[in-house]
Amino acid sequence: MERFVVAALVLFFGVGLVIYAFRAFESGEVRAGPNFPHGVLTPTRDDSPGIFHAFVLLYLCGGIVLAVWGLLMVFGMAAPIALN
């Protein structure tokens, strides 16, 4: 039972990251973390296209990896993460 809970969480976060990457690509801006003196770092496609595409690619690849790992856990082909 624990394997399915962990797999569902990993799959949920993976799909969420993929959805966020697609929405960020469509809107043209992505939230990329804290930029302490100025608030939140939000690169846009127009202002900084290299950083924007790098973060979208990072979120997309991370989401795909998590989603595939979650599916592999569901089918028993990957070891689940131990929840302690």
14-50, pLDDT tens digit by residue? 999 999 999 999 999 998 877 678 778 889 999 999 9
pTM comes to 0.85
Whether 80 maps to a domain, the answer reads no
Whole-number pLDDT of residue 73: 92
CB count in 10 Å sphere of residue 14: 20
- Is the residue at 50 inside a domain? yes
* Other residues' Cβ atoms within 10 Å of the Cβ of residue 31: 13
Is 81 a member of any domain? no
Question: In terms of Cα–Cα distance, which of 9, 48, 14, 16 is closest to 32?
Answer: 48
Structural domain including 26 reads 2-74
Is residue 84 in a domain?
no
Residue 82 lies in a domain: no
Q: Is residue 83 a part of any domain in this protein?
A: no
